[in-house]
Amino acid sequence: MIVRVRFLPDDVTVDAEVGEALLDVADRAGVSIPTGCLMGSCHACTVELEDGDIIRACITAVPAGREELTINLFSDPTW
Ligand code: FES
């Protein structure tokens, strides 16, 4: 199952597999999500989904059940 993942604000779209790590998808898209601990505790990798859900990219995989996923990277430099 392929999910089309779109990264904002760069507006880059790549195809990803359900269950693929979001950081890997971003990497393939040439989008860099800031990271720190890679364990879900520092929140450096926080991004927002199109439905307003705030998630930590390092502990999130591409979800099943949708064909498209839009990920909004925070541009706030304090993250
Ligand atoms: S890198 Fe620390 S919470 Fe994701």
pLDDT tens digits, one per residue of 31-59: 999 999 999 999 999 999 998 999 999 99
Dist. CA 16 → ligand 1 center (Å): 21
Q: State the fold for domain 2-73.
A: Ubiquitin-like (UB roll) (3.10.20)
Element at 69 (helix H, strand E): strand 68-73
The ranges assigned to domains in the chain are 2-73
Closest Cα partner for 5 from 53, 75, 67? 67
pTM for the model stands at: 0.89
Q: What are phi and psi of 24, to 5 degrees?
A: -70, -40
| Index of the ligand 1 atom closest to the CA of residue 38 | 1
Residue 43's CB: how many other CB atoms inside 10 A? Answer: 12
